[in-house]
Amino acid sequence: MLVGIGDDASVLRVPKDHEILVTTDFSLEGVHFRRNWHPPEWVGHRCLTRGLSDIAAMGGEPMAAFLSLAVPASLPQKWVDDFFRGFLTLAKRFHVELAGGDIAQSPGGVLADIALVGSVPKGKALLRSQARPGDLIYVTGSLGGSAATLKQLYNKPKKRLWPADFAGHFFPEPRIAGGSILREKRLATSAIDLSDGLSTDLSHICEESSAGAEIWQDAVPRARIGKPPSEVDIELALHGGEDYELLFTATRKVRVPGTIAGVRITEIGRITRGHRIVLRRPSGKAVEFEPHGWEHFRS
């Protein structure tokens, strides 16, 4: 960054022969988080994670973040300080500069909007639209951990959860290194980040690629959460959002390693002709795999 906070706009130098990537994401109190469930560090961490995860899914490197934060007048300054600590700790780890933004007074709850700018070598971004029939479908890490944690919070709002035992929900790890490797080694034909849940995000890949898909339920890696850790319900792994893992496709000819950047890779299905997306149950029966979406909690 050449010029940052303190001028009308920030000036960013783009690496030679690179294009830029831009993504924006809202984090709204009562929709994406609750102040009584989620520590302020988490809200700051999550806010940046959403942007980083989008850049990861394009195979890009993050450069700079812009944060617009609206908070109620009654909010303690400590909350804001802790929010920034969570945000900036993650930013530092990924060499992302907080290059601009705004703090304003909110008429309702806390509201954060992030714009994240990254870069990617020209013409090399991983898109949603390039999956082809016959490609295999993979995910990084395991799924459902974030939704299962939210469900526990929702069912027992008074119970105190230790963030360390539920790291997938409280401190998800954006897959920047994994996305870069998929791009550099030309392993993936398409990619998306799992923010809305497997069923919804897979439907985006299929729609953009004009293809169908088949997912093998038995193959879907379920997260283990809590203490002692236990495997999450399969429905949460299939539909729950906010895991920030990557879903990607690769041709059958490509040898996809078992781990990428230290994260397990699992083959979970294949891209098919047509537009149907089906889920192969353990019994062998194929059912429609409808996007259930990610039902954000409401107060």
Q: DSSP label at 14?
A: P
Between CA 116 and CA 55 the distance in angstroms is 8
Strand residues in 128-242 grouped as ranges (E): 136-140, 190-193, 212-216, 224-225, 230-231
What lies within 8 Å, CB to CB, of 79 at 6+ separation is 35, 40, 71, 110
Q: Is 106 in the site for a second copy (CB under 8 A)?
A: yes
Task: Find the shortest distance in angstroms from Cβ 22 to a second copy.
Answer: 5
Q: Is 193 in the site for a second copy (CB under 8 A)?
A: yes
Q: Which of 160, 69, 155 is nearest to 109 (CA)?
A: 69
Strands 111-121 and 18-28: antiparallel
Contact characters 150-189, a second copy, x per CB under 8 A: ----------------------------------------
Q: Is 36 in the site for a second copy (CB under 8 A)?
A: no
Task: Find the shortest distance in angstroms from Cβ 142 to a second copy.
Answer: 20
Task: Identify the bridge partners of residue 113 per DSSP, sorted by sequence position.
Answer: 26, 68
Q: Which of 105, 159, 160, 228 binds a second copy (CB under 8 A)?
A: 105
Closer residue to a second copy in complex, CB, 125/225: 125
Between CA 168 and CA 61 the distance in angstroms is 22
Span interacting with a second copy, options 116-124, 145-153, 216-224, 285-293, rule CB under 8 A: 116-124
Q: Which of 25, 41, 173, 196 binds a second copy (CB under 8 A)?
A: 25
Residue keyed to tokens 């299939």: 238
Task: Find the shortest distance in angstroms from Cβ 225 to a second copy.
Answer: 26
Q: Is 19 in the site for a second copy (CB under 8 A)?
A: yes
Residue keyed to tokens 């459902």: 144
Contact characters 40-69, a second copy, x per CB under 8 A: -------------xxx-xx-x---x-xxx-
Q: Which of 47, 70, 136, 150 binds a second copy (CB under 8 A)?
A: 70
Six token digits for residue 89 = 């700790």
Between CA 295 and CA 277 the distance in angstroms is 20
Q: C-alpha dihedral over 200, 35, 46, 234, to 10 degrees?
A: -40
Closer residue to a second copy in complex, CB, 98/237: 98
8 Å CB contact between 240 and 143: yes
Closer residue to a second copy in complex, CB, 1/234: 1
- Contact residues toward a second copy (CB under 8 A) are 2-3, 6-14, 19-26, 28-31, 53-55, 57-58, 60, 64, 66-68, 70, 99-102, 104-109, 111, 113, 115-118, 120, 122, 125, 127-129, 191-193, 204, 208
